[in-house]
Amino acid sequence: MAAIKKKRLKVFTFVLLLVSLTSFFLNYAHTTATYTWFPKQMVMHFSEHFKRFMKYPQRPCSCSQCISETGFAPWFDERFNHTMQPLLNRQNAFLENDTYTWWMKLQRERTPKRLNETFMDLFSIIPGDVDPLLQKGPLICRRCAVVGNSGNLKESHYGKDIDSHDFVLRMNRAPTAGFEVDVGRKTTHHLVYPESFRELAGNVSMILVPFKTMDLQWLISALTKGTINFTYVPVPRKIHVNREKILIYHPAFIKYVFDSWLQAHGRYPSTGILSVILSLHICDKVDLYGFGADSKGNWHHYWENNPSAGAFRKTGVHDGDFESNVTSTLASLNKIRIFKGR
């Protein structure tokens, strides 16, 4: 009996050590910086990580702080719903009546057609499985950079920091070529809608943000026959995207962002805030770059030569100030970090 107990103790100790070591190296493997590790430093770092693991064995991630942890900030807890699924797949491809009605009004689509059939057609040409992007866990510390398009990225030299993250999310027409020093060269996920589409590298996942049924129909068309080349403005007739890398932002998640996070401010959320709230659900640590005005108060894109530009902020459909307040509050609660550049 004593021998059996001793054997079980050894097995338990080995498993616990293996789990802790795996968690430790996953937590620190994301950094691209080069450090000189001495035995004493490694022991200290491992010791701290081991203590956190033992103290919080049910924590949702292995970071020192996890975004999805609740019970510390009522403002966050009231808004964050961990059950919401940000991406559309075969299993969740349906809309409740209130969501359907709200979504159809976003672009004032007068004659919506065949939504269920559109979902079926869509998942006949792109994967419809639950995306691995959503598979978080207690042994993972997933670091994500959400890169906006603000001119405050100019001369920021954030490129290396941005590229050090596990996931790098960008949006709309944002280029990287020629701006790598400030905005980085790495992109893992790029959010677009038909009117803001840009060609992407083959290893980049495209996340389509559908504001209307035609957006989904356009994607089907652009991957097959190319029959749609106009929505309310001209859009690409055909696109060259790896079908295995196409994801769809769930319309119900758009409404969740609008209702819970924006408190119905504006007509619908901007791609920027949709990217931020998406990151809260798929990442354990989030850093924001390229959001807000530059140091002189100008609103413009970092690739524009005219720093006084910024008509995009006055579209009338987004409440930029309220969205900025949301991100600022998240930062004040240590849920995200905001890098303001220049």
The end-to-end CA distance of the chain, in Å, is 69
Residue with tokens 């995200």: 336
Which SS3 state, helix, strand or coil, does residue 169 take?
A: strand
Catalytic residue positions, numbered = 268, 318
Q: Does residue 256 have a known ligand-binding role? A: no
Q: Does residue 268 have a known ligand-binding role? A: yes
Q: Does residue 300 have a known ligand-binding role? A: no
Q: Does residue 272 have a known ligand-binding role? A: yes
Q: Does residue 159 have a known ligand-binding role? A: no
Q: Is 72 exposed, middle or buried (0-12, 13-18, 19+ CB in 10 A)?
A: exposed
Q: Does residue 292 have a known ligand-binding role? A: yes
C-alpha 199/C-alpha 239 separation (Å) is 7
C-alpha 339/C-alpha 342 separation (Å) is 9
Q: Does residue 149 have a known ligand-binding role? A: yes
26's tokens:
């996953």
209's tokens:
């943000």
C-alpha 273/C-alpha 208 separation (Å) is 15
Q: Does residue 306 have a known ligand-binding role? A: no
What is the H or E stretch that residue 252 is in? helix 251-256
Binding-site residue ranges for substrate: 107, 149, 172, 232, 268, 272, 292, 301, 318
Binding-site residue ranges: 107, 149, 172, 232, 268, 272, 292, 301, 318
